[in-house]
Amino acid sequence: MRLLQQQAGELDAQLAAARHTAGSGDRLVTAVVTGQGKLLDLRIDDRALQGAHVQKLGLSIVEAVRAARAAANASALPQLNALFGKQPPPATPVRPPVAAVPTRREAQPDDGENFEELDFLTDEPESGGRRW
């Protein structure tokens, strides 16, 4: 057990010293993380602060950090598996995150409720009946 703890401590030190760098798809943001996935550095290109790019900056930051952490995980996994005697999972290609596309909901039939008659500031229905 002590040997396993010692090896785990050594691996933790190696992961803490390792550096993984990745950038966003638009090349405006670069992130650096440790082998443990801790964010060390974030570089934002000056172009990101000008024009229409400002609106996408948050997405670019998240994309760069996720890509750097994915690289750190991919690098650490074989070492962790070797330490704990597990077989590595089958290789799967790492895909960049895909932006969510809003889906359209089908129109619901009109239930005939008229919201003009409701007083949303009180709990009492105006007509004396049940509100909900």
Res. 37 pLDDT band, cuts 50 70 90: very high
Res. 23 pLDDT band, cuts 50 70 90: very high
At residue 85, the pLDDT reads 76
**42-88 residue pLDDT tens:** 999 988 888 766 778 899 999 999 999 999 999 988 888 887 776 55
Which residue carries 């039939």 as its tokens?
109
Query: Angle between the 2-17 and 57-84 helix axes, to the nearest 10 degrees?
Result: 150
At residue 22, the pLDDT reads 96
Q: Considering the entire predicted model, what is its pTM?
A: 0.60
Q: Is residue 76 within 8 Å of residue 100, measured between CB atoms?
A: no
Q: Of 3.10.100.10, 3.30.1310.10, 2.60.40.10, 3.30.470.20, which CATH number belongs to 2-84?
A: 3.30.1310.10
Res. 89 pLDDT band, cuts 50 70 90: low
At residue 74, the pLDDT reads 92
